[in-house]
Structure 1
Amino acid sequence: MPDPAMPDLPLTVRFSASEGAWDAWAPALQAALPGMRLSRDGDPARFDAIIYAPGGDITDFTPYRNVRLVQSLWAGVERIVTNPTLTQPLARMVDPGLAQGMAEYCTGWAMRAHLGMDRYAQDGVWRHGQIPPLAPARPVTVLGMGELGRATAAMLTAIGFSVTGISASGRPVPGVTVQPVTALDQVLDTTQILICLLPDTPDTRNLLDARGLSRLPKGSWIINPGRGTLIDDQALLRALDQGRPAHAVLDVFRAEPLPADHPFWAHPGITVTPHIAAETRPATAAPVAADNLRRAMAGQPVRHLVDRARGY
């Protein structure tokens, strides 16, 4: 949460994001930090900070020699963290609105899988014998226990699901059984709903390959609103044909928009959603960015600083 005790200091901030983002973000950012001089262009040497999102016009950060912080508006930073010209501190966005939206998306689809809502075709057949278990009997695994994973796990445990979290840090999460990545194979053996919320790093790409997917029980579901690179596409198609998993809800892809001729669109075991699981919302994210800018200018620790070696 933003620190209300942090003073407002005069600063000049460069805004670099996709076309149209200015109209949505500038009023919210200016309201969150009234003393800020926010602009979309100007002499790079005069800026104290940069607010950045993919699609912006800055590709070379070298001229911005006085910048104390590059604040991303996105939770994912894979499109900027490898830029060799970026030597300034980089912070990712941890937006409470984004976390809430992601938790709602994952919980909604988890409930659809849990209750078997797709079984009940309106075709005159009385399927009374297909009664789902109660939530505590449905093992759910959240793969990635960062801010989004913890928010999702909290919502699911509040309903009563038995949740296991796969975490690189091993940080405890109330009500969740936290396991290291090395235990993933064993956890997959009993997972009925797998929710994927890992970042895109060299260690996570194709983490769910043919071997990993084959460990999932028949009838299980995958929900992936994290990163499209996490799952081997061809391995997933083959696994779905074998019933392990039975269904995959995919919100992120290696190429976006997903091409119209991509086999995911036509596969009966896949539901495609168009990268709408969660969105950074100016109303809730602007105060987070403003707080970090205050911290950077005051020489205080910046929140959610990116570890370049880990990539997030």
Structure 2
Amino acid sequence: MPKIAIISRDYSAYKSALDDLQLSGELHDVELIWANEHANGAPLRDIEYALANPNIMSRYINECPNLTWLQSTWAGVNTLVNKSKRDYQLTGLKNVFGAQMREYVIAYLLYFQRHIPELITNQQQCQWQQYRIPTLQNQTMGIMGLGSIGKDVAIAAKAFGMKVYSLNATSKPAEADQHFNLAQLYEFASKVDVIVNLLPHTNQTTGICDVTFFETMRSHAIFINAGRANVINNDNDLVNALNSRSIRGAVIDVFKTEPLPAEHPFWNTPNLLMTNHTAATSQHELVFEVFKNNLRKKLQGLPLDSCINFEQGY
């Protein structure tokens, strides 16, 4: 009987869902041996399957010799991929975060498009000023890393009449009107009105948004980073682009250091909006559904969904 560990801040909800599954008679062939927010004190050597926070598990993964499968509770798994231990199946989360991400992207895109920051300032200063407000129709959204999450964003953009260009390492998603590879990054940046980064954290993607990248972007363009912080080569590159008005605005949800230090220049950069890594958060009901389906497949010896390729990093 495989031994399962749950390591997550939502461990109580996951444990309850697993208990319900067993009580209903749907599942009998597993034993839950640990359920906690932390792994301190966990019987690591006995764990065979895990539903876990990847950042926490990365600290203990080498102490789990019998682990054969780990279901991540987050989209980002680079902390596990970067470890030497790879003799187990690692599964991620696909088709879980798309709805949240499309709302996030469209909300902040409209924030700039409809001149909301200027209107708020004008109201505070009792000023009546009208703006020319173009529609999103026929504008182009560029999505860096158009995968399972990006597909929902692309569909939402097209609902507003936008064109969608993709920048991917290898794939050419059907949702995109034009495709670019990583070697065509600067050409891609020069052709779009808004850039949404959803790329995973890999060696290939680290530092690709550099000075030249921001200089190549259109002056009215918006940069939205809801993927991984590693893509920005130096945060000051983005700060300088905004201060010099080389680009119109930016929305940043992910940072190299979290929480962001009070002295970081992002706090006081004009036309830069920050959210605290909440563009698309893990909802335990959806995560458990992925875990449940993969658990059944694992017990039946079937291929698992959303397997991570350790070499590719996603």
Regarding TM over 0.5, the answer is: yes
- Taking only aligned residues, the RMSD between alpha carbons, in angstroms, comes to 2.2
Counterpart for residue 167 of structure 1:
168
281, 292, 296: which is aligned to 1:279? 281
Q: Which structure 2 residues correspond to residues 110-189 of structure 1 after superposition, within 5 A? A: 110-120=109-119, 121-122=122-123, 123-128=125-130, 130-174=131-175, 176-189=177-190
Shift of 1:161: 1.6
Q: Distance in 1 between matches of 2:194 and 2:143?
A: 9
State the alpha-carbon separation in 1 of the partners of residues 188 and 59 from structure 2. Answer: 41
The answer on 1:102 being equivalent to 2:96 is no
- TM-score norm. by structure 2 comes to 0.87
Task: Label 1:206 to 1:92 Cα distance change in 2 as closer, same or farther (>3 A).
Answer: same
8 A Cα contact 1:95 1:285, kept in partner: no
Q: How far 1:62 sits from its partner (Å)?
A: 4.6
Distance 1:284 1:63, change over 3 A: same
Distance 2:57 2:70 in 1: 14
Question: Residues 287-309 of structure 1, C-alpha deviation per residue, up to 9 Å, x if partnerless?
Answer: 11111122222221111111111
Contact 1:116 1:132 survives alignment (8 Å): yes
Which residue identity is paired with 1:225? A
Show the 5 A alignment for 1:231-250.
231=232, 232-250=234-252
The CA deviation at 1:286 is 0.5
Tell me what 2:253 maps to: 251
2:79 maps to 79
Paired residue for 2:38? none
| 2-structure distance, mates of 1:184, 1:168 | 10
Which position in structure 2 is the counterpart of 1:4?
A: none
SS at match of 1:137: coil
Q: Which amino acid aligns with 1:306?
A: I
Q: Distance in 2 between matches of 1:87 and 1:224?
A: 32
Letter in 2 for 1:80: L
With over 3 angstroms needed to count, the CA separation of the structure-2 counterparts of 1:175 and 1:307, relative to structure 1, is closer
The reply to whether residue 38 of structure 1 matches residue 32 of structure 2 is yes
For the pair 1:22 / 2:48, whether they are aligned, the reply is no
Kindly tell me the number of residue pairs found equivalent between the two proteins. Answer: 299
C-alpha distance in structure 2 between counterparts of 1:133 and 1:249, whole Å: 20
Partner of 2:227: 226
**CA shift at 1:253, angstroms?**
0.3
The 8 Å contact of residues 189 and 213 in structure 2, kept in 1 or not, is answered as: yes
Greater RCO (CA < 8 Å, at least 6 residues apart): 1
Identity of aligned residues (%): 24
Closer, same or farther: CA 54–61 of 1 in aligned 2, 3 Å:
closer
1: CA distance between counterparts of 2:126 and 2:264?
A: 34
Distance 1:209 1:22, change over 3 A: same
| 3-state SS in 2 of match to 1:80 | helix
Cα distance change of structure 1 residues 145 and 175 upon mapping to structure 2, 3 Å threshold: closer
- The question of whether the paired residues in 2 share the 8 Å contact of 1:92 and 1:306 is answered with yes
Change (3 A) 1:79 1:187: same
1:271/1:237 CA distance change after superposition, 3 Å: same
Judged with a 3 Å threshold, the aligned counterparts in structure 2 of structure 1 residues 203 and 42 are, in CA distance, closer, same or farther, namely closer
Match of 1:309 among 298, 308, 311: 311
Shift of 1:48: 3.1
SS in 1 for 2:261: coil
Unaligned 5+ residue runs, structure 1? 1-9
Deviation at 1:58, TM superposition (A): 6.6
What's the offset of the Cα at 1:220? 1.5
On the 8 A contact 1:95/1:280 being kept in 2, the answer is: no
Evaluate the alpha carbon distance shift between residue 185 and residue 32 of structure 1 in structure 2; reply closer, same or farther with a 3 A threshold: farther
Match of 1:136, SS state, is: coil
More off after superposition, 254-263 vs 98-107: 98-107
Match status 1:261 vs 2:263: yes
Question: 1:70 & 1:39 partners in 2: Cα distance?
Answer: 15
TM-score w.r.t. the length of structure 1 is 0.88
